[in-house]
């Protein structure tokens, strides 16, 4: 089996290089190998390698910058997945594409299910929604995985930023009214490999439950609680921390203005995923502990 993997140097892509290598030949590409904002490059990439499976975690993820670079975000987050879907369908290949909690406006009281109507509040969210719609429409053998607050030992993320700031400053202010779930890149990669394995064993679209799924770790938190957890874990591990336990101040999203609006509620209901595939989703604390052990 030949697997084409994009975003090889991203948080999820880095982990997917490991997990997918157990299934077959992995052709892993990054920005230096293929410009995903160029549709012809994307098309040539697929036609050159003729993969059995395409796994696409790559995205334009600079949420605030996307507000002023809408065309670039559109090309990477919407047009590239559309081309992957078209080419995968011609090859009879499977396409697994990652999407985001930012397709929702965050106004729902409970966790979002797959059938809830999206209402993105940012260019990033809007372009990711266009991408997942194209994949769903154009490729029969598709999986679209919406996830949230990705964190990994490799690459840049909130946990690493908090560790750096906590070592440099005496106090921090962190948003406490945005709720969601930190989700391990390694967990997503391992689950992806299991999904690809299951799908290739049941190639028929009527025997495998292709479609849209929400996949995050279990539980819920907010950015402030998340930051406090990371700092306390580091302190217990003996990492030098300047911030005292009571010096992480809780603020509101309104106190921290940004170019792009974030959903206040990013909780995704994962029941459909668990019931469809019988795979365990660990708590965000359990997953995060493994990552922090590697970082620290």
* Residue 254 belongs to some domain of the structure: no
Per the structure, the count of domains in the chain is 1
* Residue 188 belongs to some domain of the structure: yes
Residue 212 CB contacts under 8 Å (≥ 6 apart), including other chains: 114, 132, 136, 144, 146
* Residue 56 belongs to some domain of the structure: yes
Is 213 assigned a catalytic role?
A: no
- What is d(CA 80, CA 77) in angstroms, rounded to the nearest whole number? 6
Residue 207 confidence class, pLDDT cut points 50, 70, 90 = confident
Residue 143 confidence class, pLDDT cut points 50, 70, 90 = very high
CA angle 284, 133, 118 (to 5 degrees): 60
Is the model's pLDDT at 205 over the cut of 70? no
* Residue 226 belongs to some domain of the structure: no
Domain that holds residue 275: 2-155+182-218+265-281
Residue 201 confidence class, pLDDT cut points 50, 70, 90 = confident
Whole-structure pTM value: 0.96
Is the model's pLDDT at 234 over the cut of 90? yes
Catalytic one among 60, 112, 124, 229? 124
31-48 pLDDT per residue, tens: 999 999 999 999 999 999
Q: Is 63 helix (H, G, I), strand (E, B) or coil?
A: coil
What the block records as the tokens of 57 is 């975690």
pLDDT at site 141: 96
* Residue 31 belongs to some domain of the structure: yes
Is the model's pLDDT at 204 over the cut of 70? no
* Residue 167 belongs to some domain of the structure: no
| Under 8 Å between Cβ of 114 and 272 | yes
* Mean pLDDT, residues 243-250: 92
Residue 245 confidence class, pLDDT cut points 50, 70, 90 = confident
* Residue 67 belongs to some domain of the structure: yes
* Residue 133 belongs to some domain of the structure: yes
80-104 pLDDT per residue, tens: 999 999 999 999 999 999 999 999 9
Helix or strand holding residue 182 (H, E): none
Mean pLDDT over the full length of the chain: 96
pLDDT at site 98: 98
What the block records as the tokens of 26 is 């992995």
- What is d(CA 283, CA 277) in angstroms, rounded to the nearest whole number? 18
Is the model's pLDDT at 139 over the cut of 80? yes
Nearest to 61 by CA among 144, 122, 16, 8: 122
Residue 23's domain is classified under what CATH number? 3.40.50.720
């Amino acid at each position: 089996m030949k697997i084409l993997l994009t975003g090889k140097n991203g948080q999820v892509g880095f982990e997917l290089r490991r997990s997918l290598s157990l299934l077959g030949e992995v052709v892993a590409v990054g920005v230096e190998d293929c410009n995903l904002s160029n549709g012809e490059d994307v098309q040539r990439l697929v036609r050159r390698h003729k993969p059995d499976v395409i796994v696409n975690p790559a995205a334009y993820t600079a949420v605030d910058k996307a507000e002023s670079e809408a065309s670039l975000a559109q090309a990477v987050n919407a047009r590239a997945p559309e081309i992957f879907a078209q080419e995968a369908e011609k090859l009879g290949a499977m396409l697994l594409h990652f999407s985001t909690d930012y397709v929702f406006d965050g106004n729902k009281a409970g966790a979002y299910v797959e059938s809830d109507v999206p209402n993105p509040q940012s260019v990033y969210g809007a372009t990711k929604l266009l991408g997942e719609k194209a994949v769903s429409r154009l490729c029969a053998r598709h999986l679209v995985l919406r996830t949230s607050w990705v964190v990994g030992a490799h690459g840049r993320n909130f946990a690493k930023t908090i560790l750096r700031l906590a070592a440099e400053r005496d106090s921090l202010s962190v948003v406490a009214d945005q709720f969601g779930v930190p989700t391990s890149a390694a967990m997503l990669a391992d689950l992806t490999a299991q999904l690809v394995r299951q799908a290739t064993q049941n190639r028929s679209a009527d025997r495998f439950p292709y479609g849209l799924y929400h996949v995050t770790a279990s539980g819920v938190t907010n950015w402030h609680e998340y930051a406090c957890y990371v700092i306390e874990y580091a302190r217990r591990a003996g990492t030098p921390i300047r911030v005292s336990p009571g010096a992480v101040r809780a603020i509101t999203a309104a106190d921290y203005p940004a170019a792009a609006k974030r959903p206040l509620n990013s909780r995704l209901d994962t029941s459909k995923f668990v019931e469809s595939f019988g795979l365990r989703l660990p708590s965000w604390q359990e997953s995060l502990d493994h990552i922090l052990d590697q970082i620290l």
